[in-house]
């Protein structure tokens, strides 16, 4: 079905009396099909009614917008009718007259007889024939709400909007009206969006349930499909095999949001104390990095004065020998922050390897792409050029197990290499042997014949090409263009202790990332990052893909890969929940962690879009990204609303465990 209603990256920001801003809704994106019934559910204050008012045209989005059948919603219109909780009937008019008020306004061009027929049809539709001449004071609460529904439907709207329409009614009346509404919607193919607090009501009426996180900056945390066929009867719904699982999932989400609200309140209290100090709280910072091309933003921020510009004048960049040392440094507090592989904050938060979970957050992606899969020249001589060739070599020599290097279990390089192999029918745990090595050792190990290939960042892929010991079989751009590569990892408790320092750190690095993606600066940056205290390497290894065309070492012409080293453009820096959730599925896919039952809470804690947004707004930059479905090279699409279904649908995987993460 085509999209009927589209909510396109909507923000709603309110001005406060103290000249501050309150962000009620953040980056709401939703597409609704014609005839679909969608419920919005979440705790009080999460912006459900605000969103409904924006769809109705009663309020305007601060950013983004809403379209109905391709036309932008800017003002109220009869094609969108709202039923409020408080009925909103005129007390001096009868049932018939209240309905006629709307019909006469919308159908001015119709004859009196035609308008009367519409009015009478809708009086019968809601079962109020005997009360047609009564005024609201003579009606029960349920009857008043039926008048409001009849009035809304009598204008024959394209979209019916319901704001807790049954919240004030007793259980019997509510049940009767729910069934009546369900019948009307089914018979007339009415498209509905309903705000509710009632889990059972949402399950009874909805095709999809959209669960909103707490405000401020409320966003869609999860969308639940209700696979119960229509037409529905209440008992059939309750007895459906999926009913209690769906109900438990909604209640679990709401309970997790309740816990998150308590945690947010505690953090806000700490931040309020810190804010009174004005400026950064910690002056001496030790930030870890590995000698890779994509450490450029950290190096540039120090060397070009961006750290100092934001009050961070005593920054030490500590070069580490491995990602294991980076993780240990942040976990123990030796490092204040660090350049991390994209999955490391998540892995530390989940407690991979049986370790104690340590919440580590990411509010900034430092780089994207610039990963590649490199194989030995021995495999090249055996005819390997691509994934299919590799599969053929493995099948031809099943006893000769190839060894491939990865830089860290939670690195995108490991997840992408595994995904690439599995897409070609190669089990990464059975058909090959994966071993963890620091990126600095990849070329020497390949040269020594200890490994047959690896997946790593630059300059270690091109270095193998330059030294004629390897060739590049696939780049990040071919597997998943735009994949996150390096992030800034910081312990959650550190950010709570030093919130202004953290914000200054994000702003300084955003400025540095922007500087790095101005190609006019690349020659200067190349000279800086290759210095002995940083990468300590010959610039010839860094130039390809950073400034010059990229030579894969496979006999093909060097390629101009402008987006290969990406630091700022195309919303590089926005930390996407969808991307983090995809990483969760891949870690669980290979048995590295159980899939967290509380995955919404986990992604919320790791992915600090609120901090990124605050920093971006201070700099006058766009403070949102696009949490769209992820498309990989094999044609599979990752839908963030159903991560477990996606995970179960993957052909090659380990046994999937599901556990709750206790922090």
Residue 428 has pLDDT above 60, yes or no: yes
Tell me the two tokens of residue 54.
């924006």
Backbone angles phi, psi at 130, to 5 degrees: -75, -15
Cα torsion for 82, 86, 90, 93, to the nearest 10°? 100
Residue 271: its pLDDT value, please? 54
Distance, CA of 604 to CA of 359 (rounded, Å): 11
- Residues 6 or more apart whose Cβ sits within 8 Å of residue 414: 343, 406, 407, 408, 434, 455
Please state the rounded mean pLDDT for residues 309-321: 94
- Confidence band for 165, pLDDT divided at 50, 70 and 90: confident
Q: Give the predicted TM-score (pTM) of the model.
A: 0.85
| Longest alpha-carbon distance in the chain | 94
- Residues 6 or more apart whose Cβ sits within 8 Å of residue 185: 37, 160, 192, 205
Nearest Cα to Cα of residue 531 among 522, 523, 539 = 539
Residue 402: its pLDDT value, please? 97
Choice among 143-157, 282-296, 363-377 with the minimum mean pLDDT = 143-157
- Which residues are paired to 220 by β-bridges? 212
Handedness of CA 83, 146, 155, 109 (dihedral sign): negative
Residue 627: its pLDDT value, please? 65
> What length is written for the chain?
663
Residue 270: its pLDDT value, please? 57
Q: Which is more confident, 379 or 662? A: 379
Residue 337 has pLDDT above 70, yes or no: yes
Residue 268: its pLDDT value, please? 63
Residue 236: its pLDDT value, please? 87
Do residues 159 and 194 touch, judged by C-beta distance below 8 A? Answer: no
Tell me the two tokens of residue 228.
């119960």
Distance, CA of 540 to CA of 545 (rounded, Å): 11
Reduce the DSSP state of residue 81 to 3 states and report it: strand
Do residues 2 and 33 touch, judged by C-beta distance below 8 A? Answer: yes
Residue 409: its pLDDT value, please? 95
Residue 189: its pLDDT value, please? 85
Distance, CA of 340 to CA of 318 (rounded, Å): 13
Give one DSSP letter per residue of 528-556, joined into a string. Answer: HHTSTTTT-S-GGGTSBTTTBPBP-SSSS
- Confidence band for 408, pLDDT divided at 50, 70 and 90: very high
Residue 501 has pLDDT above 60, yes or no: yes
Residue 275: its pLDDT value, please? 45
Tell me the two tokens of residue 82.
């709202």
Residue 490 has pLDDT above 50, yes or no: yes
Tell me the two tokens of residue 492.
């959650």
Helix or strand (DSSP H, E) at 375:
strand 371-376
Distance, CA of 336 to CA of 432 (rounded, Å): 37
Residue 1: its pLDDT value, please? 55
Residue 362: its pLDDT value, please? 97
The model's pLDDT over 252-288, given as tens digits with 9 standing for 90+, comes to 999 989 888 887 777 666 555 444 444 789 989 999 9
The model's pLDDT over 575-627, given as tens digits with 9 standing for 90+, comes to 999 999 999 999 999 999 999 999 999 999 999 999 999 999 999 988 877 66
- Residues 6 or more apart whose Cβ sits within 8 Å of residue 437: 405, 406, 407, 445, 451, 454
Handedness of CA 392, 396, 397, 399 (dihedral sign): positive
Nearest Cα to Cα of residue 586 among 408, 412, 359, 368 = 412
- What is the chain's alpha carbon radius of gyration, rounded to the nearest angstrom? 29
Q: Which residue has the tokens 């070329």?
A: 443
Tell me the two tokens of residue 336.
């204040």
First to last CA, the chain: 42
For the sheet containing 337-341, what is the strand order? Answer: 314-319, 284-289, 337-341, 484-491, 360-368
Distance, CA of 581 to CA of 639 (rounded, Å): 10
Residue 320 has pLDDT above 80, yes or no: yes
Give me the percent of the chain exceeding a pLDDT of 90. Answer: 69
């Amino acid at each position: 079905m085509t999209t009927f209603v589209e909510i396109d990256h909507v923000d709603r920001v309110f001005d406060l009396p103290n000249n501050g801003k309150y962000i009620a809704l953040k980056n709401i994106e939703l597409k609704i099909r014609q005839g679909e019934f969608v419920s919005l559910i979440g705790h009080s204050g999460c912006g459900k009614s605000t969103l409904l008012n924006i769809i109705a045209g009663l309020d305007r989005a601060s950013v983004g917008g809403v379209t109905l059948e391709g036309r932008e919603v800017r003002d109220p219109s009869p094609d969108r009718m709202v039923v409020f909780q408080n009925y909103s009937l005129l007390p001096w008019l009868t049932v018939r007259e209240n309905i006629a008020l709307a019909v006469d306004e919308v159908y001015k061009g119709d004859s009196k007889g035609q308008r009367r027929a519409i009015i009478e049809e809708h009086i019968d539709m809601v079962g109020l024939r005997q009360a047609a001449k009564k005024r609201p004071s003579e009606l029960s609460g349920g009857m008043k709400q039926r008048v409001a529904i009849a009035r809304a439907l009598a204008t024959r709207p394209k979209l019916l909007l319901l704001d807790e329409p049954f919240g004030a009614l007793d259980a019997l009346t509510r049940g009767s009206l729910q069934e009546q509404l369900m019948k009307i919607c089914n018979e007339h193919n009415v498209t509905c969006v309903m705000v509710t607090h009632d889990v059972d009501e949402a399950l009874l009426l909805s095709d999809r349930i959209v669960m909103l996180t707490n405000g401020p900056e409320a966003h869609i945390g999860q969308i639940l499909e209700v696979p119960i066929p229509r037409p529905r009867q209440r008992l059939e719904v309750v007895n459906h095999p999926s009913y209690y699982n769906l109900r438990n999932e909604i209640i679990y989400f709401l309970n997790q949001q309740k816990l998150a609200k308590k945690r947010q309140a505690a953090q806000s209290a700490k931040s309020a104390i810190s804010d009174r100090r004005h400026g950064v709280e910690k002056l001496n910072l030790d930030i870890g990095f590995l000698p890779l091309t994509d450490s450029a933003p950290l190096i540039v921020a120090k060397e070009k004065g961006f750290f100092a510009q934001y009050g961070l004048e005593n920054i030490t960049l500590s070069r580490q020998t491995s990602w294991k040392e980076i993780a240990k440094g942040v976990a123990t507090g030796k490092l204040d922050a660090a350049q991390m592989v994209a999955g490391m904050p998540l892995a530390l938060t989940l407690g991979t390897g049986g370790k104690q979970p340590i919440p580590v957050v990411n509010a900034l992606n430092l780089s994207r792409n610039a990963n590649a899969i490199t194989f030995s020249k021995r495999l090249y001589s055996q005819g390997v050029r691509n994934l299919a060739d590799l599969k053929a070599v493995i099948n031809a020599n099943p006893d000769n197990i190839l060894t491939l290097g990865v830089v860290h279990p939670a690195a995108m390089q490991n997840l992408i290499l595994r995904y690439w192999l599995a897409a070609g029918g190669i089990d990464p745990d059975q058909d090959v042997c994966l071993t963890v090595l620091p990126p600095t050792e990849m070329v020497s190990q390949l040269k020594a014949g200890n490994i047959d290939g690896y997946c790593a960042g630059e300059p270690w892929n091109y270095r193998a090409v330059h030294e004629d010991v390897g060739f590049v079989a696939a780049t990040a751009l071919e597997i998943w263009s735009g994949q996150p590569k390096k992030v800034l990892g910081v312990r959650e408790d550190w950010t709570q202790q030093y919130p202004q320092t953290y914000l200054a750190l994000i702003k300084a690095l955003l400025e540095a990332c922007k500087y790095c993606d101005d190609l006019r600066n690349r020659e200067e940056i190349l000279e800086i990052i290759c210095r002995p205290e940083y990468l300590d390497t010959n610039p010839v290894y860094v130039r390809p893909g950073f400034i010059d065309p990229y030579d894969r070492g496979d006999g093909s012409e060097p390629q101009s890969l402008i987006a290969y080293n990406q630091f700022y453009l195309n919303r590089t820096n926005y930390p996407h929940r969808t991307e983090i959730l995809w990483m969760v599925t891949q870690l669980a896919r290979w048995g590295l962690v159980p899939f967290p039952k509380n995955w919404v809470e986990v992604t919320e804690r790791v992915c600090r879009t609120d901090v990124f947004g605050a920093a971006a707004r201070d700099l006058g930059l766009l403070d949102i990204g696009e949490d769209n479905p992820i498309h990989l090279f094999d044609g599979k699409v990752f839908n963030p609303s159903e991560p477990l279904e996606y995970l179960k649908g993957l052909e090659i995987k380990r046994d999937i465990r599901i556990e709750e993460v206790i922090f």
